[in-house]
């Protein structure tokens, strides 16, 4: 189990402390390491539980052309088969299922979740198009929560407590939803 977190809004670097608090809130999900990534409009964070490619599967993982960044929680059961098909179009640097997701996205963005057998939630930031692509498995085994912050930020994480830890979300009870 790993933890993912992100904030999408102009000035990604200014969210360094927010991402730090979010990742700290997810520490129990990934005690083996953590990392972050910042660009003009994106801040990503990750906590890692090492299962596949223990030595080189660190996240956020950046694509070979440095245009894409991914944070991933889960396990892709068919990653070896997918990798074998992608090796002619992508130069892999790791043996991780995370990098297979990056390669899929880079080579053909059509129905990526439908090609993945497993349990997952992930977010891919595309620096060139300035867009975020998020997905989770069809049964929701790996959680993906999101909200909007007080300054219009799109904020996501593996747990609600990480959203709250960002300091950008006011915890309010919706009486309408409660009813």
Task: Quote the strand ranges of 20-144, DSSP E.
Answer: 33-38, 42-48, 61-62, 68-76, 118-126, 131-136
Give one DSSP letter per residue of 82-108, joined into a string.
HHHHHTTT----S--HHHHHHHHHHH-
The structure tokens listed for 113 are: 């979740």
Q: Which residues touch 113 (CB under 8 Å, ≥6 apart)?
A: 120, 135, 136, 137, 138
Write down the number of H helices and E strands in the chain. 6, 9
Q: Is 42 marked active-site?
A: no
Catalytic residue among 1, 2, 126, 140: 2
How far apart (Å, rounded) are the C-alpha atoms in residues 86 and 107? Answer: 8
Residues with a known catalytic role: 2
């Amino acid at each position: 189990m790993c933890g993912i977190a992100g904030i999408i809004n102009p000035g990604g670097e200014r969210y360094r402390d927010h991402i730090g608090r979010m990742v700290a809130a997810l520490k129990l999900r990934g005690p083996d390491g953590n990392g972050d990534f910042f660009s003009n409009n994106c801040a990503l964070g990750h906590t890692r539980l090492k299962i596949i490619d223990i030595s080189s599967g660190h996240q956020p993982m950046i694509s070979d052309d440095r245009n894409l960044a991914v944070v991933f929680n889960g396990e892709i059961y068919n990653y070896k088969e997918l990798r074998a098909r992608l090796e002619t179009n992508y130069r892999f640097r790791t043996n991780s299922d995370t990098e297979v997701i990056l390669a899929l996205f880079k080579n053909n963005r059509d129905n990526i979740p439908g090609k993945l057998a497993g349990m997952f939630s992930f977010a891919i930031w595309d620096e060139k198009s300035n867009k975020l692509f998020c997905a989770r498995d069809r049964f929701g085994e790996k959680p993906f929560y999101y909200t909007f912050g007080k300054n219009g930020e799109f904020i996501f994480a593996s747990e609600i407590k990480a959203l709250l830890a960002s300091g950008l979300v006011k915890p309010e009870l919706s009486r309408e939803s409660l009813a």
